Amino acid sequence: MNAFDRDIDGLALVHYGDGEYAVMKPGRFVLCAVSGRRIPLEALKYWSAQHQEAYIGAEEALSRWKTAGSL
């Protein structure tokens, strides 16, 4: 999958690692674990490998960290 694949829409299934992620099922976006908002894969910058979840921004990642412990 690359950014120019136009026939792949919908929710992607992603495995989050330390500093990188792997797309397991192609899609255009993932959902923020805190807000539920869509995060386009090309804009994905914040995630937790431990919790296997994505965050739309630093504020949401910090919020999750405060409620669950370390990310």
Q: Is the pLDDT of residue 38 over 90?
A: yes
pLDDT computed for residue 9 by the predictor: 85
Global pTM reads 0.83
- Amino acid, res. 10: G
pLDDT computed for residue 71 by the predictor: 52
Number of residues assigned to the chain: 71
- Amino acid, res. 41: L
Q: Is the pLDDT of residue 70 over 80?
A: no
Report the alpha-carbon distance of residue 62 to residue 69 in Å, rounded: 10
Q: pLDDT band at 61, cuts 50/70/90?
A: very high
pLDDT computed for residue 8 by the predictor: 75
pLDDT computed for residue 68 by the predictor: 84
